[in-house]
Amino acid sequence: MNNTPELYDKSNKLQKKDSEYIIRKLQIDYENRIPELIVDLGCGTGNITERLWCSFPDTRIVGVDCSKKMIDYALDHYSTHNLEFFVADICSDWKILSENTEVEKGSVDAVFSTYCLHWISDPDMEKVMKNIYEMMKPGGRCYFAVFSWSWLLPFQEQIIYQKPWDSYFQQLDLTTGQKDELKIKSQIVDKGTKLSSASSSHRSSVSEMFESKEEKLVSLESSRPYESLMTLSTITESPASLVKVPTRKTSMTTLSDEKVEVPKLVRRKSSAPFPVYDVPPEKVRIEKWNKFCEKAGLKPIETEIHDTTFTYQDIEGFKGELQSLCHYLPYLPKDLHPIFLADYYAHMDRCFISRQDTLPKIKVQYQFLTVIAEKPLTSP
């Protein structure tokens, strides 16, 4: 992720919108009582934590983030009475986390987190859930909102196959065994998945957007683009006057005058810790989070996937979101970040922004998942 507090604080309007859902759930649960302590995990710049504080001004609220830059920004802009911010790694051992956040075992009424936990790998997520269990009071609850999927993701991911950037992402190349495993998963998805009508229409519109004869882009036959993206394809032959353009499995745009070479039979895993192409069924995604809770000793109360749309009011707002959430930068030398971001934006402009029929407004359809779980009054 692009660790620039000023940019993120200005651009995270989508996150603010979705945070309102779990804030409202928390308000309902504490309508007749005042919680003593609420912890916001992955608070970033603190602007959503401040919104939480506005709902509970008499509650001690602690914002936690592993980025010192983000916490310094939060301390400068949002810290006030009963609103504190600490630098800490929520994946660390409980004793260390407790010391770094000044949060004692069994002292927290509610654990809150917006658009943070989907960045954490599954093994580390088990540690996080154990820490949440340790800090919560018996009867306390956790309230999460996490990103689940968007049909915008496959478009974004194509940048890692484009020159000159593809070589920096070779560490993501799958081994033969991993490719076989991925193929099996895709077959399972194909046979067992029934997408909701909303999700299907979202993904179908992706295919429709790329039926442009002028660009010689190959339209996907499947109404579920992520299935076709499971494998690589060959280059489309085009007239000598045109540059050879690969299908979506390799690259969306040509950022130089060089002809695109026929890709090797290679498949790369996602550059993010969440699915991009091989999207699990909604039931599987829900069960995954329920298991995280249950394994930590928490009882799931509500786990839901929400189909929704966010409208950016102008192109600059969408561009800010792209840059502030750019998870590709850790793979690149810092001196190349500005050049990469420029190419990344140009890529998204060609394959997505320029095809919007609502400009200057930009609509993005996506799914987010909410989890509410409770710590039992008695230990198991």
pLDDT at 86 over 70: yes
Whole-angstrom distance, CA of residue 202 vs CA of residue 285: 18
CATH code of the domain in which 136 resides:
3.40.50.150
Binning pLDDT at 50, 70 and 90, where does residue 88 land? very high
Assigned token pair, 215: 């660009």
Nearest in space to 285 (alpha carbons), one of 148, 155, 168: 148
Residues 147/274, Cβ–Cβ less than 8 Å? yes
Q: Where are the beta strands (DSSP E) in 250-361?
A: 299-312
Which three-class secondary structure state does DSSP give residue 246?
Answer: coil
CA-angle at 10, arms to 6 and 16, nearest 5°: 125
Residue 124: give the domain boundaries: 5-149+278-326+363-374
The residues near 167 (Cβ < 8 Å, ≥ 6 apart) are: none
Is residue 142 included in any domain, yes or no? yes
Residue 364: CB atoms within 10 Å: 18
Per-residue pLDDT tens digits for 25-79: 999 999 999 999 999 999 999 999 999 999 999 999 999 999 999 999 999 999 9
The residues near 222 (Cβ < 8 Å, ≥ 6 apart) are: 207, 228
Residue 213 DSSP label: T
Is residue 249 included in any domain, yes or no? no
Per-residue pLDDT tens digits for 150-185: 888 888 888 888 889 988 988 888 765 555 554 544
User: In terms of pLDDT, which residue wins out, 7 or 37?
Assistant: 37
Is residue 266 included in any domain, yes or no? no
Domain count, the chain: 1
Is residue 134 included in any domain, yes or no? yes
pTM metric for this prediction: 0.76
Return the residue matching tokens 């930068």: 329
Per-residue pLDDT tens digits for 110-130: 999 999 999 998 889 999 999
Half-sphere exposure of 166 (CA within 13 A, CB side): 17
